[in-house]
Structure 1
Amino acid sequence: MAEPRIAVLVSLGRHPVSGAVRWSRNDGAALALARRLGGASVAVLHAGDPDEPALRGYLALGAPCVQTIDVPRDRDVLDPLAALLSDYALVLCGSRGESGMGSGLLPYLLAQRLGRPLLPNVLSAQLAGGAVRARQFLPKGRRRDMEADLPALLTVHPAAPFEPRYAYARERAGRVLPVAAPAQAAPLADAWRIEPADARPRKLAAPERRSGRDRLLAATAMASRGGEVIQHGSPEDKARAVLAYLRTHNLVDY
């Protein structure tokens, strides 16, 4: 039985201190996981400028070649990626961009376009016949085992085991190759505005009215925080319940 074809989607990140463009740690973790699954025969794909020097960082991490799709900044990368990934049984990528205010929707849109299951926030994975088994990251130290039939997509969580081994010799020996692929204009390309990322918006949160002991117990135990789970009723009833909660805690003024 032939080994399944594996591909890794990589993007560009920024150094947390200097802000210099570099390889993305999240996608580097996805590359390390893919190499453990498929050895050295893993395809590495990037949609963007093929002349970007930072892409050579993935060569130093062990990718023998980085295939690049020259997609302008005002074009959508979804269709070109879907066209190239249709023949791959397993696609991996980081769970989100390393900097900026990215939506993190690309893996979900790609899975929808290809008609494949998506396993999010993966820490480890292994191939078992015609399926992939993965361990998923959950809050408060919890983990969950999942399985999906191939072909499938995986997003790798930032907490996945990853020890970068940067080798200058591999960087010089590897190649960055352009790949021809159709690029279609995004519907809202003319309305996009690119600007430096500012501070993240503050999340709405109800004020804490518990003692320090109660807050510590809530952080260390799976105790209820006083919320309400609404499983039945119409969407209008659920919306009224959410609005009533916001009004109770003075999070909205109407």
Structure 2
Amino acid sequence: MAASRQPPFCHVEFGGAVAAREPPEAAPEGLEAVFPREVGLFADAFPEETRYGFCGHVLTIAQHHGARLGVAAPVWEAALTLCKYFEKQKLNFWGKKVIELGAGTGIVGILATLLGGDVTITDLPLALEQIQENVHRNVPAEHLARARVCALAWGLDHEEFLRDYDFILGADIVYLKDTYPMLIRTLRHLCGPHSTIYLSSKMRQEHSTAVFYEALLPLHFTSELAYRDENENINIYRVTSKQNS
């Protein structure tokens, strides 16, 4: 009997991105042939690989969907909108000190690294392995020293990080109301008189996202709406210290 053959590695295209998926295992004999096993149904993680193009760079981003990473696993639309904004505005990160908060996959910080920044990419410890994988996938070896991956819990250990970054970046990190005071505390520590913060957010009414930008952030910062995507209901805010005013 001929050996069973695995289907080839395949690509599934959607929304301008290409998701690469590993082929499923060959169907087993017996009962499992009658009731085919759903590959990965009970797995802890469902890996996915997607390619995106920004600023002349093609980024290959791994996303390990599952209970362990939760909301840290996927590339959120607000992150893609921020990357598109960098491209449209031709933002220059060359030689700048940059930090990304709540990075998830790290796509925003990785793009800032490829655009010349000296970037610290942060999230909670459980997300660091995914970020590190994506850094190594996308940042050339000679530039890896400019992309550091570190754990940062807002409001708790931010004092271990430098003050006065040139740029502080966050994409879809304003979504849990209980974390807003801790995020503000961290932003106040990291932001110096010459820092610029870019925050890209899906404006979710159920998470009181507008309250953060309209009531909490103005207590300590000067902010302006830099860009709005009406179709996706995403705002990008440019935020600076009130010391700049």
Q: TM-score, normalised by structure 1?
A: 0.32
Higher relative contact order (CA closer than 8 Å, sequence separation 6+): 1
Structure index of larger Rg: 1
Structure number with higher helix proportion: 2
Structure number with higher strand proportion: 2
Q: TM-score, normalised by structure 2?
A: 0.33
